[in-house]
Amino acid sequence: MLLLRLLAQYPVRCGKRYIRRLGSVPFQDDLDPLEDEAFGLEDFKHYEPTEQTRKQLKNIETAVSASDSVQEHVQPSGHRDLEAISKIRSPLAVVSKLSNPFLNLAIEDYIYNNMPFKNTQDKKATFNRLMFYVNSPCVVIGKNQNPWKEVNLPLLTSLRIPLVRRKSGGGTVVHDNGNVNFSFMTSKHQFDRFTFANVVVDSVNADKDSSAVKLKVNERGDIVTDVDSLKVSGSAYKVSKGKSYHHGTMLLNSRLDILGQLLHRDEEKLGVVDAMNSISSVKSKVANIGLSNETFIEIVTKGFGNMVTRDEELLENPKGPAESKKEVSEEEPSEIDSFNEMFNLSDFAQSSSTPVSTLSIPTFVIDSNVTLPQSIIDEAESLKKWGWIYGNTPKFAHTLTNEKFKFSIKFNVDKNAVIEGFELAFPEDDTGILSKEKIQSSFEYLDQVIQQGKDQAVGERLKYTGSGVAGFIINDMISDWIGESIDGTS
């Protein structure tokens, strides 16, 4: 029933897979004893959906039945057209209640692309946007990274945790229900790595009611704990025509033990990846700050409102904020109020006790009742494609060594993650359980397929997947080992 109702909400392409992802936590059901043993992950089995997860699941259900307190923040009967909302000519906060990472990235992209300039001739300022979303567990790599190098792919495969490649630069992060993603969008002209990091830090530090850890911004622009300099947020940035965004993760109550394991690779088992020119992640010690997702979203939205107010005041009156306060408080809110009325937007900033001069930021909540434009669905689909997630990896080499069979194999992988060729190497004292000749002959067919592929279009060539490669290796033991080491498929 729930499934049917949800499908009805998404008349456009919306497969079963999406529904499943919305409603399930990949950690909990997908383990078998073998995996526990192989990866020492007995703990995962006891993974319980957190309070947050339960809430989210409940939200999905209640959003469907439309009879829950969540609905207070959701537009009960008003305008639900994301297209119109995204073009609002005032600063805007957007909170996505969806948990599908591909969909959330696509929505973020859409809001970014539709963000209006204040002046269409002089594209130096935009009506800024702030978006929040919480993804179900997934691993997110930077635009120009190598997933074989950065991520424990066999572990992801066995836990059925999706791998996602975003369109901004930077390193690899792990998302789960205890991590809130924020995305601050502004003009290219106003791009600055520190501005919004400072807004986040100031908002969290100023929150008197909370027991959150005190934070600071380090010299790289990362948000870290004030005392121990532990990283609590990973940031990435994108600059395009006239616009820029700074998006980041915020570890509130994440499973840090799982986070660590997903990114840990044992090179003896999984091989050595020479990622060549790809961007490498900078490994940092991490910590949670301990706020609830809702509190974090509320206080940062408030901080965004304060920043917008300050900016407007300075635009109105460059000499200083004091004299212009009155003027702004009279003018701006009325403009915003009319938007609120028009679109039935809820208002986080206003509901909190804020100074009179603070602009109240209209907040649009995206839940399953909001019809998403087709272009968002299409973008989410293209973000899911193998050719983007894996295929966007720059040229690399992956060397696997097998102690039992006494040989190593180096795969040379070209652009688009197609196999260019491989080299076998045997130690001088050949004492493996198979003879050198036997091993070599088990790779003949694979070599043939790769050579034939060289005359073909990229799409026809052999992709660097575990199952793809393993399928052409004649010896089953070798085939299983290679498939398992590449990405856990065989």
Partner 1 sequence: MISSLLRAPKLASRFSASRYPSSRIIAARFNSADHKINTNSFVYKYLEEGPKTVKYTAEHEWLAVFKDDTAFVGITKYASDALGDATFIELPEVGVTVEAGESIGSVESVKSASEIYSPVAGEILAINQNLESSPGLINEDPLGEAWIAQIKLSDPSVVESSEELLDVAEYDASLEDH
Binding of residue 311 to partner 1 (CB under 8 A): yes
Binding of residue 190 to partner 1 (CB under 8 A): yes
Contact with partner 1 (CB under 8 A): which of 7, 57, 70, 125?
A: 125
Stretch that binds partner 1, among 36-44, 83-91, 274-282, 397-405 (CB under 8 A): 274-282
Cβ closest to partner 1, residue 180 vs residue 217: 217
Contact with partner 1 (CB under 8 A): which of 85, 164, 185, 236?
A: 236
Binding of residue 169 to partner 1 (CB under 8 A): yes
Give the 3-state DSSP-derived string for the chain, with helices as H, strands as E and coil as C: CHHHHHHHHCCCCCCHHHHHHHHCCHHHHCCCHHHHHHHCCHHHHCCCCCHHHHHHHHHHHHHHHCCCHHHHCCCCCCCCEHHHHHCCCCCEEEEECCCCHHHHHHHHHHHHHHCCECCCCCCCCECCEEEEECCCCEEEECCCCCHHHHCCHHHHHHHCCCEEECCCCCCCEEECCCEEEEEEEEECCCCCCCHHHHHHHHHHHHCCCCCCCCEEECCCCCEEECCCCCECCCEEEEEECCEEEEEEEEECCCCHHHHHHHHCCCHHHHCEEECCCCCCCCCCCECCCCCCHHHHHHHHHHHHHHHHHHHHHHHHCCCCHHHHHHHHHHHHHHHHHHHHHHHCCECHHHHCCCCCCCCCCCEEEECCCCECCHHHHHHHHHHCCHHHHCCCCCCEEEEEEECCCCEEEEEEECHHHEEEEEEEECCCCCCCCCCHHHHHHHCHHHHHHHHHHCCCCHHHCCECCHHHHHCCCCCHHHHHHHHHHHCCCC
Cβ closest to partner 1, residue 144 vs residue 408: 144
Q: How far is the CB of 316 from partner 1 (least distance, A)?
A: 12
Binding of residue 192 to partner 1 (CB under 8 A): yes
Binding of residue 277 to partner 1 (CB under 8 A): yes
Q: According to CB under 8 A, which residues from 279 to 308 bind partner 1?
A: 279
Contact with partner 1 (CB under 8 A): which of 23, 49, 373, 394?
A: 394
Stretch that binds partner 1, among 111-119, 235-243, 350-358, 478-486 (CB under 8 A): 235-243
Contact with partner 1 (CB under 8 A): which of 45, 118, 269, 310?
A: 310
Q: How far is the CB of 176 from partner 1 (least distance, A)?
A: 24
Contact with partner 1 (CB under 8 A): which of 172, 179, 254, 278?
A: 278
Q: How far is the CB of 104 from partner 1 (least distance, A)?
A: 19
Binding of residue 191 to partner 1 (CB under 8 A): yes
Cβ closest to partner 1, residue 227 vs residue 315: 315
Contact with partner 1 (CB under 8 A): which of 143, 325, 406, 436?
A: 143
Binding of residue 382 to partner 1 (CB under 8 A): no
Contact with partner 1 (CB under 8 A): which of 75, 99, 158, 168?
A: 168
Contact with partner 1 (CB under 8 A): which of 69, 241, 322, 428?
A: 241
Stretch that binds partner 1, among 57-65, 238-246, 251-259, 472-480 (CB under 8 A): 238-246
Distance separating alpha carbons of residues 458 and 105, to the nearest angstrom:
27
| Interface residue list for partner 1 (CB under 8 A) | 124-125, 142-144, 167-170, 186, 189-195, 198, 217, 219-221, 236-241, 244, 276-279, 310-311, 314, 318, 394-395
